[in-house]
């Protein structure tokens, strides 16, 4: 019997990141609201439909350049969305970001459109790069403007909280 289980086991678990789903569970919302929300400034937006959570550490950083995300929690429908905070991050003239690792490999992360699925995929790409300790930057002609290490730490915290909230971690 044990041999049968060992033989039929899949080689690896499927990634929870493969499908886009914005649903939250009550336990994840309670954890976020009671434990993690202390680190966020909260505002009601959309005439009270959404609670917008902004990580305080990202906005207390004095650096001009950074990528800032907002977690929008629709508590009435048990859904949460991640979006670029367009009040503090301007990607109007930027087509892509660069992700670089210590060994010199670079990846391209394209900036999202305004749809939630695109914003989710962008946040997912940034999260994977930040989790793998890669640097993120914006090409500026022949140079690259890199996100600071303190901003990368804050990005990891912010995106980890969001992906826990929607059950991906």
What confidence score (pLDDT) does residue 69 get? 93
User: Tokens at residue 27, please?
Assistant: 């336990």
Write the burial class of residue 158 (CB in 10 Å: 0-12 exposed, 13-18 middle, 19+ buried).
buried
User: What pLDDT, on the 0 to 100 scale, is given for residue 12?
Assistant: 63
61 found inside a domain: yes
The answer as to whether 97 is a domain residue is: yes
* 122 neighbors 112 (Cβ within 8 angstroms): yes
Considering its fold, how many domains does the chain have in total?
1
Within a domain: 132: yes
Q: Find the DSSP H helices in the chain.
A: 2-8, 26-34, 56-60, 116-131, 149-165
Q: Judge whether 74 and 82 are in contact, CB under 8 Å.
A: no
The model's pTM is: 0.86
Domain that holds residue 138: 21-165
User: What's the pLDDT tens digit per position in 25-64?
Assistant: 999 999 999 999 999 999 999 888 899 999 999 888 666 6
Low-confidence residues of the chain, pLDDT below 50?
none
Is 4 inside a domain boundary?
Answer: no
pLDDT on residue 106: 84
Question: Could you tell me if residue 62 is inside a domain?
Answer: yes
Find the Cα–Cα–Cα–Cα dihedral 49, 118, 139, 101, rounded to 10°: 110
């Amino acid at each position: 019997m044990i041999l049968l289980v060992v033989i039929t086991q899949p080689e690896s678990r499927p990634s929870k990141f493969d499908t886009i789903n914005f649903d939250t569970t009550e336990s994840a919302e309670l954890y976020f609201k009671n434990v993690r929300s202390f680190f966020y400034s909260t505002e009601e937006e959309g005439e009270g439909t959404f609670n917008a959570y902004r990580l305080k550490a990202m906005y207390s950083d004095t650096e001009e350049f950074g990528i800032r995300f907002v977690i929008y929690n629709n508590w009435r429908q048990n859904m949460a969305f991640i979006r670029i905070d367009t009040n503090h991050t301007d990607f109007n003239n930027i087509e892509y970001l660069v992700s670089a690792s210590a060994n010199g490999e670079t990846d391209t992360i394209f900036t999202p459109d305004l749809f939630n699925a695109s914003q989710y995929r962008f946040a997912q790409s940034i999260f994977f790069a930040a989790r793998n300790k890669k640097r993120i930057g914006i090409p500026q002609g022949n140079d690259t403007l890199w996100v600071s290490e303190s901003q990368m730490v804050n990005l990891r915290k912010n995106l980890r909280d969001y992906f826990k909230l929607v059950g991906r971690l």
